[in-house]
Amino acid sequence: MVFTTHHPHHALAIADDALLMLGETNYACGPAGEVLTEDNLQALYGVPLKRLSFEYEGRAVETFAPVFLPSHL
């Protein structure tokens, strides 16, 4: 099955492989856990993201959260 999403945590949760289209001739493709990195996603979205891992109802879960810092720091 092929699906498209703008939510990297969806792909991280269910995809075996991922393709990030970073530009007209620049892309990253491979296993989702290796392609969906903080650096690749920051390059794609222009926003720093942090990959987070936690346990919920006995299951390991990974997701991404944007990192917003006050402008005065």
Residue 12: half-sphere exposure toward Cβ, Cα within 13 Å: 20
Whether residue 16 has pLDDT greater than 90: yes
Whether residue 20 has pLDDT greater than 80: yes
CA distance 67 to 34: 20
Give the residue extent of every domain in the chain: 8-66
- Give the confidence band of 73 by pLDDT, cuts at 50, 70, 90: low
CA distance 15 to 62: 13
pLDDT in tens, 21-60: 988 899 999 999 999 999 999 999 999 999 999 999 999 9
